Structure 1
Amino acid sequence: MLLLHYVYYFTIGCERASLHRIGKDVYYVHVKGESVIEKVEGRSLRNYTLPAYDEDGAKKQITFRSTKKENDHKLNENAFLSLYVDQDDKDKNEISSIEVKSYEEIQKADLPEKVKKKFNVN
């Protein structure tokens, strides 16, 4: 019974986003330019379509929706993000927003070397 309580508190204490990252492919984007605002059920949602690279530097076009609550959902300009993707057809060159399960802002130093080269950053 005590073990069950520990498991419960550990599970509740875990970030939900981290559960969406387990076993997912990771792609990196550099936030540049404007997003598109979409009205859904009376809410304004902000969508981004950007080039994305995996750790080997392979490129895909990715569309994802901002989950940021402040600043009208606008992401920080020039931010680097890692996106966690669950794509059924790995041969597709485009990743839809429904396939993006989570994302987080990261530092330039955290980018894989091949991705830094693609973004022309050192």
Structure 2
Amino acid sequence: MKNNIITCVWIVAVFLGGLLIIQNVNLNRIGADVFYTQIQGPGKELTNRIGNGETLVRYEYELPAVDKNGTQTTLKFTADKQLREKAYLSLYVKEGKGVTSYQEVAKEKLPEKVAEKLQERKE
């Protein structure tokens, strides 16, 4: 009887732990390459009408980006809102899918080579 209770408690704990991980981890970032960019100008507004007549608005950005080794590329991605001008972003990129996620990053948190390349681009 005691073993059954311990087993049930253990199974419930593992299940709840799994739910917490799934809820709090952005799966789009797992296994992705990370590039960094800085927002320059407003995004291009894209509107889509869905079945019930509601209009969805997204903003498209196409910006130069740099990985932690200093390799440069141009990436295209969309956001639900206009992103803050001059904000630094980390872009999570998966092969075949493009940018799957992004997150604003403080300038101080940028890798050294990235900060140098982004600074060169401004000059």
Per the TM superposition, whether the score is higher than 0.5 is yes
Letter in 1 for 2:58: L
How big is each residue's C-alpha offset from its partner over 1:20-68, in whole Å with a ceiling of 9 and x where there is no partner? 211110010101112100112221111111001110111111111114x
Indicate conservation of the 8 Å contact 1:17/1:102, yes or no: no
RMSD across aligned C-alpha pairs, in angstroms? 1.9
The number of aligned residues is 107
| Counterpart among 12, 28, 47 of residue 19 in structure 2 | 12
1:18 Cα deviation (Å)?
A: 2.4
Q: TM-score, length-normalised on structure 1? A: 0.77
Whose Rg is larger?
A: 2
TM-score by length of 2: 0.77
Q: Which is richer in helix? A: 2
Quick check: 1:20–1:102 contact (8 Å CA) kept in 2? yes
Q: For the residues of structure 1 that align with 2:47 and 2:25, how far apart are their CA atoms?
A: 24
C-alpha distance in 1 between matches for 2:14 and 2:85: 39
Instruction: Give the Å deviation of 1:105.
Output: 0.5
Structure 2 portions without partners, runs of 5+ = 1-7, 50-54
Q: Which amino acid aligns with 1:99?
A: G
